[in-house]
Amino acid sequence: MEKSKWMEMYRIMRLIRLVEQRINDEYKYDEIKTPIHLSIGQEAVAAGVCIHLRKDDYIFGTHRSHSQYIAKGGDIKKMIAELYLRKTGCARGRGGSMHLVDPEVGILGSSAIVGGNIPLGTGTALASKLLNNDRVTVVFFGDGAVDEGTFHESLNFAALKKLPVVYVCENNFYAINSHQLSRQVGDNIYKWAQNYGMPGFQIDGNDVLEVSDYAEKAISRCRNGEGPTLIECLTYRWKGHIGTVDDVGEGYRPREEYEYWVSKCPIKRFSEFLKDQGVLTDELIKKIDQEIYDLIEEAFSFAQNSPKPSPDELMDFVYAD
């Protein structure tokens, strides 16, 4: 991978982290009147995958999809405006944090129904095949979605039709407070791929280079008409399931587990690597952060100063023209 892409991945991860930290900080003012699910700690997955996608490729996210929206190049101002439920939001205030959209860059909408986006992304991949183009779809979902029938039904169909879709499972071990092993007999989600007739891998989702490596191969398989791949990325969310809570040590999850994963912070690891490679310096880190802070400031002030929808618009968009 070219070094310019390293820097881009770094920037994206930092962007996700700092945007989400700002959301976290602003949430207490109750102006972001929508449930939020932060991806802090999981940034490497979206960044490592989306770096290989073209603007016209599709992604589908979940209730927790700020990171994918940002990594795919979704408009940040419109995203923050959507969190503030403004007219200028990406979904014009009808969606909120769980329903981000930016068709310009192939984001056709995220679903807050666990597993609900998996068929949708399989369907855009079907469209690529029927239209005979080489657009790839990536579907992001959690370990919880693997409990759902849609995961199994969709993988079966995608393999059957050799569809250009990459299934990226962000396994953070929890669905709300329920651990993977209380819902599934094994801890090998990637193994489902074998019986559905596609390659499956379990990788370190906090190592952006490893994610990027596997994603690149899976995406090029798609472009070459070789069909789908399942990539299970082991990762961890630092915050509680929803909102801004810190739930560590409150009986939900053990502190040691949390501390282990924080020590594996994907951004820290990657920035150390980049420093070792001599492409990142403390000065550069500061410069990149400053650019990001400016961008965030601009997005939040755009959002906070944007108008809210008016009640007479209530019935707009129920049907498309």
* Binding interface with ligand TPP (CB under 6 A): 37, 63-64, 112-114, 142-145, 172, 174-176, 241
Residues binding another protein (CB under 8 A): 58, 60, 89-95, 99, 101, 103, 108-109, 111, 113, 116, 118-128, 130-131, 137, 149-150, 153-154, 156-157, 160, 316-321
The one-letter amino acid code at 111 reads S
By CB under 5 A, which span of 68-76, 85-93, 138-146, 290-298 interacts with Mg ion?
138-146
CB nearer to another protein: pick between 42 and 111: 111
Report d(CA 165, CA 159) in Å as an integer.
9
Among 26, 102, 143, 207, binds Mg ion (CB under 5 A): 143
CB nearer to ligand TPP: pick between 79 and 288: 79
CB nearer to Mg ion: pick between 26 and 143: 143
232 lines the binding site for Mg ion (CB under 5 A): no
Distance of CA 236 to the CA centre of its chain: 13
The one-letter amino acid code at 91 reads A
Question: Can you point out the beta strands (E) in the chain?
Answer: 58-60, 137-142, 165-171, 174-175, 178-179, 200-204, 229-234
Report d(CA 133, CA 288) in Å as an integer.
36
Instruction: Name which of ligand TPP, Mg ion, another protein, none residue 203 binds, using a CB cut-off of 5 to 8 Å depending on partner kind.
Output: none
CB nearer to another protein: pick between 98 and 203: 98
39 lines the binding site for Mg ion (CB under 5 A): no
The least distance separating Mg ion from the CB of residue 143, rounded to whole angstroms, comes to 4
Query: What HEC string does 252-321 produce?
Result: CECHHHHHHHHHCCHHHHHHHHHHHCCCCCHHHHHHHHHHHHHHHHHHHHHHHCCCCCCHHHCCCCCCCC
The least distance separating another protein from the CB of residue 127, rounded to whole angstroms, comes to 3
Distance of CA 191 to the CA centre of its chain: 22
The one-letter amino acid code at 21 reads Q
The least distance separating another protein from the CB of residue 117, rounded to whole angstroms, comes to 8
